[in-house]
């Protein structure tokens, strides 16, 4: 079984190593497989871009 490439990218987004994650339409299914199992998935907010791209940002919850 191979590792989903979005695991590392989502981790980098959550840790602040990257400010956004751009998902192309043909990559959405792979991204969603990781995203749907995250306990803090509601903090990863997507914004629709052009041509089906989605730009995700991590919004830390206020404590």
In this prediction, residue 2 has a pLDDT band, given cuts at 50, 70 and 90, of low
What's the pLDDT score for residue 4?
85
Tell me what the mean pLDDT of segment 34-59 comes to.
95
pLDDT digits (tens, 9 = 90+) for 5-44: 899 999 999 999 999 999 999 999 999 999 999 999 999 9
CA distances from 54 to 24, 33, 50, 63 (A): 7, 15, 8, 27
pTM of the shown model: 0.85
């Amino acid at each position: 079984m191979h590792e989903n490439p979005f695991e590392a990218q989502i981790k980098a987004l959550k840790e602040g190593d990257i400010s956004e994650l751009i998902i192309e339409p043909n990559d959405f299914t792979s991204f969603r497989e990781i995203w749907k199992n995250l306990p803090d998935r509601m903090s990863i907010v997507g914004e629709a871009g052009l041509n089906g791209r989605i730009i995700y940002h991590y919004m830390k919850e206020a404590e």
